[in-house]
């Protein structure tokens, strides 16, 4: 055979192999598709995803309305992907692929060294922050008699920056916290949490898979900040390990389930002071701030109080008339365990869920000390705190005005009695508005 | 690609219509009607929120069972943040035995429509669940409730006679 | 429904293929119509009403034009053609420029129906219109959502004769898979990392270039991937559609770029706007007018904002520069340099796609050249680069025929089943599984409720 003949033969063979290859690819992938299709048909639907911490969609019912506006089809798409067989494993595979491609960021979470994951710290919402500063100061103005302390905790990306993926960009949150401290009233004592954590080494200060600080990190901060809170002789604590398989919010957010954490709790060594906890919203009473049943759920950080509540009451047997109000986000949940022996009452309010007037809380519980404990990420974008403090400040001002009106009436009455000439007392309706001060403070505590 | 055929000589000034042309116009008219309908439903009112609020409040001023809601109450009952909207007004039942409620909102942009209507529906469902089996009178009033979506204005009203209130609302939007 | 959705891959496509294979020949086209209706309605039933009305309008418009052409010649049909075209364009404009949301695929099917009107008018096809053929032409699910824009004459030729063959099935499926990999494994991933580059403050020159390169690569992979899937699917049912992309980033000049990028759109404008206006066979001023018409229309077809119009004019200016000014001077440069400069021009053009507002567009272009940037490079820039590097390298390799040719040589050249043959099959399967993993991964959501 001559050259061109050989060439033609080779090309024909190539074409044949190519066709064979194409048919094999078709058959192999078709087999995978059929296999997964059948598996999807036969496996039962799941109600809840532990790893995603949400309920999974059920098969939508066929209704005329749903077909007409397209919601049936959207719901079916969601249902099919929610219930897809081996869903969690497939998602894990996606992240294996990501790390092969050296992709170190996913959904606002950096995948760092030593299996640490980091929430990307937020740049402050200047408008919201300005208002928060203003309202904190205004509230302090009408309650200067109360000892007020402010603690803002930086995000793990600030303290553990050596574990961030190389070159990852992080906003200077330490500076943001410093600037915030400068702007609030000098009468409020501020705790430099950032420096305390920076000096506390690196290990076990924050969770690897969750955006909270660990109990140990909170403890180190407590030890150094006790003086600011007026705690002169902190007691010793015993540490207990309550879980070794915590996979928290960051691994859920990123979808990357590398790494897991241990959860520890601290209990005061001396049992001189005992306490009980009340959750007014659910009318629950507990003998401990810890809820061990939460350790069986995915979000093990909720072993502290079971999560966030609008209002939590802790009454102790300490007879020192120190009644503390903590205004907070979820970071405080693992800090309260250290405060128990030193106060007669600890009242905890989360402004994101508490809709009644904080001023009522102050008077109902005879509060004389206030602690603000927030993570920087929450505080710098939050609007609920300012709203809550604003309503409380207004209520307090009205109270003060009302009192001075009552005093004025009393004074005029005395003058009228002692004087002789009848003086006109002008009657105005409602200096004191007890039925709707702040909207709906009376009655329903939620 | 076929060659462009040369056109045959046509009689000058010839303009004819065949049956196909007529049918196509029927389709065109239907399409235009459909689009006009969409525009009508989506038009935005230029009315000032305070004017609308005053008009609605006037209509219900004799209903003493309702209270004015503040920001926090709106958040609590509807899960909506008033800061996200041009204007929000809520009058809610003062006791657990009444259900009269009036909610008026002016959207900042139309994309909020779906989420807002969802929130209203959720509120209605919650109320219905609360009274299902207990207060048959309240439950039947809840069933009569109306949600009126007018582009950038939405109203939700629970009342013994919701129609006149809705009418005042719609009038005020002009 | 979309080609990269689980319901399409695991339910719709297998069932449609199976039923199509075994039903009698007369029923096949009707079945495809029904399947296409379901496919389209799955996305938005409301839009289905509109497209059916449009099909109705245009079917009778085309029939009418055909009747006029046949009975009284082309000129008598002119007014009817004009009116129908204006109605279609007006309808598209209403949806594009008002608050009404764009029904899915409207830009593509509007151009399809107009292709039919023109083809009948110019006599490229006979004047008879068959309703089943026409509705299948418009609604055919492989091309309804994102093209390619197949011309009526090309489709009509095949609509009665197309047949599913083993070869077509396998070849089409392979092409579908290639498109699937491009879209899910490259384009979507580039999109994820691209958006995080943008979120950063302190944009440096380096970041600006990483951003625009990432976008250009993503856009190409996304669009050409989807086109590959469309053409592959059509082939599985026996339809032969022309390719829509031909390695556009290997072009040596802008004119060549437009012969390689979104080919079906370029062909549409050439056949129905440029050539009827006289194309290049007219006086210079008219030639420029014709070019401007095409580029203005190209710009506004892609988007409804000013940015897209400017982008169209930008390319029009470059084409005219190429044709009238630089001409052969450019082609005397070394090939590599020509390709490099062409790509720089094209990628700068993409800035108008992803920025909103002319201000932002020009600010971004400024940053590409150091104006208004926070320095040339930074450690955050290095982070952006390392996040994207492997993706960039792999995608750039796919931008030219080199990778494909090497692959074919390795796997097929010998005519025997070498190890490379088996590795290739395994690779397809593995990439497919990764693709499914990525689709599932993107539906992942976690509720960050009160824990915050």
Query: Which chains neighbour B (Cβ–Cβ under 8 Å, 3 or more pairs)?
Result: A, C
Task: Output the CA–CA distances (angstroms, integers) from residue A317 to A271, A339, A342, A364, A392, in the order listed.
Answer: 11, 13, 10, 18, 29
Q: Which residue of C has its CA nearest to B2?
A: C124
Q: Give the closest of C63, C73, C94 to B7, CB-based.
A: C73
- Across C337-344, average pLDDT: 94
Residue A121: what pLDDT? 87
Task: For chain C, give every domain's residue range.
Answer: 6-162, 168-384, 400-442
For all residues of chain C together, what is the average pLDDT?
91
Residue B1: what pLDDT? 46
Residue A419: what pLDDT? 62
Residue A60: what pLDDT? 86
Lowest mean pLDDT among A245-249, A407-411, C258-262: A407-411
Tens-digit pLDDT profile for residues A185-211: 999 999 999 999 999 988 999 999 999
Task: With beta carbons less than 8 A apart as the criterion, state whether C244 and C143 touch.
Answer: no
DSSP codes, A73-132: HHHHHHHHHHT-TTHHHHHHHHHHHHHHTT--EETTEEE-GGG-EEEPPPPP-HHHHHHH
Cβ contacts of C444 on chain A, cutoff 8 Å: 52, 91, 255
B69/A439 CB distance under 8 A: yes
Mutate to test the interface with B, among A132, A135, A350, A387 (most CBs of B within 10 A): A387
Q: Give the closest of B4, B20, B31 to C122, CB-based.
A: B4
Tally A–B CB contacts below 8 A: 22
Residue A434: what pLDDT? 39
Tokens of C347: 């990628």
Residue C444: what pLDDT? 62
Residue C377 or residue A433, greater confidence: C377
Lowest mean pLDDT among A58-67, A127-136, C7-16: A58-67
Residue A336: what pLDDT? 95
A67/C45 CB distance under 8 A: yes
Quickly tell me which residue has 């599985």 as its tokens.
C236
Looking at the structure of chain A, the number of domains it has is 1
Q: Positive or negative CA dihedral for C163, C165, C169, C175? A: negative
Task: With beta carbons less than 8 A apart as the criterion, state whether C252 and C335 touch.
Answer: yes
The alpha carbon of residue A214 is apart from the nearest alpha carbon of chain C, in Å, by 14
Task: Output the CA–CA distances (angstroms, integers) from residue C398 to B46, C108, C242, C387, C406, in the order listed.
Answer: 53, 26, 20, 19, 11
From chain B residues 7-46, the ones with a CB under 8 A of any chain A CB are none
Q: How confident is the model at residue A277 (pLDDT cuts 50, 70, 90)?
A: very high
- Across A221-243, average pLDDT: 92
The alpha carbon of residue B134 is apart from the nearest alpha carbon of chain C, in Å, by 32
Residue A338: what pLDDT? 95
Q: How confident is the model at residue A178 (pLDDT cuts 50, 70, 90)?
A: very high
Share of chain A above pLDDT 70, in %: 93
Lowest mean pLDDT among A403-412, B30-39, C427-436: A403-412
Residue C438: what pLDDT? 92
Cβ contacts of B73 on chain A, cutoff 8 Å: 355, 439-440
Task: Tally the C-alpha atoms within 13 A of residue C222's C-alpha that lie toward its C-beta.
Answer: 14
Q: Inform me whether the pLDDT recorded for B99 exceeds 80.
A: yes
Tens-digit pLDDT profile for residues C118-161: 999 999 998 999 999 999 999 999 999 998 999 999 999 999 98
DSSP B16: -
Domain assignment of residue A63, yes or no: no
Stretch (H or E) spanning A284? strand A284-286
Instruction: Note whether B73 contacts A: Cβ–Cβ < 8 A.
Output: yes
User: Is C72 marked active-site?
Assistant: no
Q: Inform me whether the pLDDT recorded for A279 exceeds 60.
A: yes
Cα–Cα distance between A269 and A235 in angstroms, integer? 7
B28/C58 CB distance under 8 A: no
Instruction: Note whether A299 contacts C: Cβ–Cβ < 8 A.
Output: yes
Q: Inform me whether the pLDDT recorded for C93 exceeds 70.
A: yes
Residue A298: what pLDDT? 82
Strands A117-119 and A109-111: antiparallel
| Paired residues of A326 in beta bridges | A348, A371
Instruction: Show the CA angle centred on residue A354, arms to residues A107 and A281, nearest 5°.
Output: 110
- Across C253-272, average pLDDT: 95
Instruction: Note whether B24 contacts C: Cβ–Cβ < 8 A.
Output: yes
Residue C442: what pLDDT? 81
Residues 6+ apart with CB under 8 A from C386: A102, A104, A166, A167
DSSP A46: P
Cβ contacts of A54 on chain C, cutoff 8 Å: 445-447
> If you average pLDDT over each of A67-71, B80-84, C258-262, which comes out highest?
C258-262
Residues 6+ apart with CB under 8 A from A191: A149, A150, A151, A221, A225, A228
Is this prediction's pTM over 0.90?
A: no
Task: Tally the C-alpha atoms within 13 A of residue C324's C-alpha that lie toward its C-beta.
Answer: 12
Residue A433: what pLDDT? 37
- Across C398-424, average pLDDT: 87
* Domain limits for position A341: 111-390
Query: C56 by DSSP, 3-state: which?
Result: helix
Residue C445: what pLDDT? 52
Residues 6+ apart with CB under 8 A from A43: A83, A85
Q: Give the closest of A52, A91, A103 to C387, CB-based.
A: A103
Q: Inform me whether the pLDDT recorded for A422 exceeds 70.
A: no
- Across B141-151, average pLDDT: 88
CB atoms within 10 A of CB B130: 15
Cβ contacts of B14 on chain C, cutoff 8 Å: 72, 75-76
Cα–Cα distance between A213 and A217 in angstroms, integer? 6
Closest CA to A433 of A407, A394, A386: A394
Q: How confident is the model at residue A427 (pLDDT cuts 50, 70, 90)?
A: very low
- Helix ranges (DSSP H) in A143-203: 156-159, 173-183, 193-198
- Across C23-27, average pLDDT: 93
Residue A354: what pLDDT? 83
Q: How confident is the model at residue A416 (pLDDT cuts 50, 70, 90)?
A: confident
- Across C300-308, average pLDDT: 90
- Across A213-218, average pLDDT: 96
Determine if the peptide bond prior to C121 is cis (ω within 30°): no
Tokens of B11: 């009689």
> If you average pLDDT over each of A147-156, A304-313, B104-113, C315-324, which comes out highest?
A147-156
C390/A101 CB distance under 8 A: yes
Cα–Cα distance between C104 and C48 in angstroms, integer? 9
Q: Give the closest of C196, C202, C412 to A105, CB-based.
A: C196
Q: Give the closest of A76, A97, A102 to C386, CB-based.
A: A102
- Across A296-323, average pLDDT: 91
Task: With beta carbons less than 8 A apart as the criterion, state whether B73 and A444 touch.
Answer: no
| Paired residues of C116 in beta bridges | none
Domain assignment of residue A415, yes or no: no
Tens-digit pLDDT profile for residues C365-389: 999 999 988 889 988 888 888 888 9
Q: Inform me whether the pLDDT recorded for B13 exceeds 60.
A: no
For all residues of chain A together, what is the average pLDDT?
86
B5/C79 CB distance under 8 A: no
Task: With beta carbons less than 8 A apart as the criterion, state whether A323 and A344 touch.
Answer: yes
Task: Output the CA–CA distances (angstroms, integers) from residue C339 to C68, C336, C342, in the order listed.
Answer: 49, 5, 5
Task: With beta carbons less than 8 A apart as the criterion, state whether A160 and A202 touch.
Answer: yes
Domain assignment of residue A348, yes or no: yes
Tens-digit pLDDT profile for residues C39-85: 999 977 779 999 999 999 999 999 999 999 998 888 889 999 999 99
Instruction: Note whether B111 contacts C: Cβ–Cβ < 8 A.
Output: no
Mutate to test the interface with C, among B17, B20, B114 (most CBs of C within 10 A): B20
- Across A372-399, average pLDDT: 90
Tell me the longest C-alpha to C-alpha distance in chain B: 86
Task: With beta carbons less than 8 A apart as the criterion, state whether B68 and B101 touch.
Answer: no
A77/C5 CB distance under 8 A: yes
The alpha carbon of residue C1 is apart from the nearest alpha carbon of chain A, in Å, by 9
Tokens of A281: 């919203």
Instruction: Show the CA angle centred on residue A235, arms to residues A234 and A241, nearest 5°.
Output: 115
Task: Output the CA–CA distances (angstroms, integers) from residue A264 to A194, A198, A203, A293, A376, in the order listed.
Answer: 22, 21, 14, 15, 23
Q: Which residue of A has its CA nearest to B72?
A: A355
- Across C201-213, average pLDDT: 88
Distance of CA C253 to the CA centre of its chain: 20
Residue B4: what pLDDT? 53
Quickly tell me which residue has 């992240």 as its tokens.
A95
Cβ contacts of C98 on chain B, cutoff 8 Å: 39
Cβ contacts of C50 on chain B, cutoff 8 Å: 31, 34
Share of chain C above pLDDT 70, in %: 98
Prediction ipTM score: 0.90
SS3 content of chain C, % helix, strand, coil (to 5): 75, 0, 25
Quickly tell me which residue has 């005329």 as its tokens.
A64
Residue C379 or residue A441, greater confidence: C379
A104/C196 CB distance under 8 A: no
B72/A439 CB distance under 8 A: yes
A102/C390 CB distance under 8 A: yes
Residues 6+ apart with CB under 8 A from B104: B52, B53, B56, B87, B88, B89, B90, B153, B154, B155, B156, B169
Tokens of C444: 């992942």
Residue A94 or residue A52, greater confidence: A94
Q: How confident is the model at residue A440 (pLDDT cuts 50, 70, 90)?
A: very low
Q: Give the closest of C170, C189, C387 to A26, CB-based.
A: C170
Instruction: Note whether A95 contacts C: Cβ–Cβ < 8 A.
Output: yes
């Amino acid at each position: 055979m001559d050259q061109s003949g050989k060439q033609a033969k080779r090309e024909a063979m190539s074409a044949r192999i190519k066709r064979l290859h194409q048919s094999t690819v078709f058959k192999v992938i078709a087999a995978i598709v059929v296999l997964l299709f059948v598996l999807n048909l036969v496996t039962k639907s799941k109600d809840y995803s532990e790893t995603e911490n949400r309920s999974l969609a059920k098969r939508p019912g066929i209704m005329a309305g749903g077909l007409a506006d397209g919601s049936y089809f959207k719901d079916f798409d969601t249902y099919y992907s929610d219930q897809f067989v081996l869903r969690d494993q497939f998602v894990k595979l996606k992240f294996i692929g990501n790390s092969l491609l050296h992709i170190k960021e996913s959904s606002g979470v950096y995948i760092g060294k030593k299996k640490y994951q980091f929430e990307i710290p937020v740049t402050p919402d200047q408008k919201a922050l300005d208002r928060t500063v203003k309202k904190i100061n205004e509230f302090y103005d009408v309650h200067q008699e109360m000892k007020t302390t402010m603690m803002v905790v930086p995000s793990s990306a600030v303290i553990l920056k050596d574990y961030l993926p190389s070159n990852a960009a992080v906003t200077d949150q330490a500076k943001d916290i410093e600037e915030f401290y400068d702007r609030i009233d000098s009468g409020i004592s501020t705790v430099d949490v950032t420096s305390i954590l920076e000096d506390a080494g690196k290990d076990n200060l924050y969770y690897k898979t969750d955006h909270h600080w660990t109990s140990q990190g909170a403890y180190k901060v407590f030890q150094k900040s006790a003086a600011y809170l007026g705690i002169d002789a902190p007691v010793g604590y015993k540490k207990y390990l309550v879980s070794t398989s915590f996979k928290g919010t960051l691994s859920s957010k990123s979808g990357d389930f590398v790494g897991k954490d241990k959860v520890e709790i601290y209990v005061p060594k001396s049992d001189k002071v005992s306490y009980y906890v009340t959750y007014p919203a659910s009318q629950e009473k507990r003998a401990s701030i810890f809820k061990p049943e939460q350790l069986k759920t995915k979000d093990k950080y909720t072993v502290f109080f079971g999560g966030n509540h609008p209002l939590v009451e802790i009454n102790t047997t300490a007879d020192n008339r120190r009644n503390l109000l903590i205004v907070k986000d979820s970071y405080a949940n693992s800090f309260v365990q250290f405060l128990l022996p030193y106060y007669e009452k600890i009242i905890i309010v989360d402004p994101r869920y508490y809709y009644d007037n904080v001023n009522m809380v102050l008077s109902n519980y005879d509060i004389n000390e206030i602690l603000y404990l927030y993570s920087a990420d929450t505080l710098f974008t939050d609007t609920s705190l300012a709203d809550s403090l604003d309503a409380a400040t207004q209520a307090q001002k009205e109270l003060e005005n009302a009192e001075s009106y009552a005093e004025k009436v009393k004074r005029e009455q005395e003058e009228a009695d002692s004087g002789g000439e009848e003086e006109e007392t002008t009657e105005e309706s409602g200096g004191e508005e007890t039925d709707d001060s702040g909207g709906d403070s009376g009655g329903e505590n939620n | 690609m076929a060659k462009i055929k040369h056109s045959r000589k046509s009689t000058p000034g010839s303009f004819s219509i065949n049956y196909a042309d007529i049918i196509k116009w029927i389709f065109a008219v239907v399409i235009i009607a459909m689009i006009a309908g969409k525009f009508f439903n989506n038009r935005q009112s230029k009315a000032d929120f305070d004017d609308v609020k005053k008009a609605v409040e006037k209509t219900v001023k004799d209903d003493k069972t309702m209270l004015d809601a503040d920001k926090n109450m709106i958040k609590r009952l509807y899960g909506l943040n008033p800061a996200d909207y041009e204007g929000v007004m809520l009058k809610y039942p003062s006791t657990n035995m009444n259900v009269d409620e009036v909610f008026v909102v002016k959207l900042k942009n139309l994309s909020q429509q779906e989420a807002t209507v969802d929130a209203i529906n959720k509120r209605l469902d919650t109320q219905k669940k609360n009274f299902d089996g207990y207060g048959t009178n309240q439950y039947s009033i809840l069933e009569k409730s109306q949600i009126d979506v007018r582009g950038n204005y939405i109203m939700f009203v629970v009342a013994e006679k919701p129609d006149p209130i809705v009418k005042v609302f719609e009038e005020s939007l002009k | 429904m979309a080609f990269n959705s689980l319901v399409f891959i695991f339910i719709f496509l297998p069932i449609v293929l199976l039923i199509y294979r075994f039903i009698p020949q007369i029923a096949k086209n009707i079945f495809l119509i029904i399947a296409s209706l379901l496919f389209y309605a799955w996305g938005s039933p409301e839009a289905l009403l509109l497209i059916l009305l449009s099909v109705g309008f245009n079917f009778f418009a085309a029939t009418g034009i055909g009747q006029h052409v046949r009975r009284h010649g082309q000129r008598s049909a002119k007014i009817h053609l004009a009116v129908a075209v204006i109605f279609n364009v007006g309808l598209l404009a209403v949806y594009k420029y008002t608050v009404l949301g764009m029904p899915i695929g409207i830009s593509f099917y509007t151009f399809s129906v107009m292709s039919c009107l023109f083809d009948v008018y110019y006599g490229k096809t006979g004047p008879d219109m068959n309703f089943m053929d026409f509705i299948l032409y418009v609604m055919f699910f492989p091309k309804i959502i994102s093209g390619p824009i197949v011309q009526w004459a090309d489709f009509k030729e095949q609509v009665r004769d197309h047949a599913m063959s083993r070869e077509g099935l396998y070849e089409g499926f392979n092409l579908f898979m290639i498109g699937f990999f491009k879209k899910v494994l490259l384009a979507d991933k580039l999109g994820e990392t691209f958006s995080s580059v943008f979120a950063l403050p302190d944009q440096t020159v380096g970041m600006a270039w990483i951003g625009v390169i990432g976008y250009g690569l993503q856009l190409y992979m996304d669009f050409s991937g989807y086109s590959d899937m469309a053409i592959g699917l059509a082939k599985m049912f026996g339809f032969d559609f022309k390719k829509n992309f031909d390695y556009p980033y290997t072009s040596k000049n802008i004119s060549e770029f437009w012969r390689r990028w979104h080919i079906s759109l370029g062909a549409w404008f050439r056949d129905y706007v440029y050539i009827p206006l006289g194309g290049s066979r007219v006086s210079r001023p008219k030639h420029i007018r014709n070019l401007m018409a095409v580029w203005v229309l190209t710009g506004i077809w892609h988007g409804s904002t000013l940015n897209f119009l400017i982008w169209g004019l930008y390319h029009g200016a470059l084409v005219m520069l190429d044709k009238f000014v630089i001409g052969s001077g450019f082609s005397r440069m070394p090939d590599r340099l020509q390709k490099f400069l062409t790509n720089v021009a094209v990628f700068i053009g993409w800035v108008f796609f992803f920025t909103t507002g002319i201000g932002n567009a020009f600010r971004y272009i400024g940053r590409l050249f150091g104006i208004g940037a926070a320095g040339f490079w930074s450690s955050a820039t290095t982070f952006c680069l390392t996040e994207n590097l492997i993706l960039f390298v792999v995608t750039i390799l796919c931008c030219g025929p080199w990778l494909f040719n090497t692959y074919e040589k390795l796997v097929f050249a010998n005519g025997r089943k070498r190890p490379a043959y088996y590795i290739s099959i395994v690779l397809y399967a593995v990439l497919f599984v990764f693709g499914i993993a990525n689709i599932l991964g993107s539906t992942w959501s976690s509720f960050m409720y009160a824990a915050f």
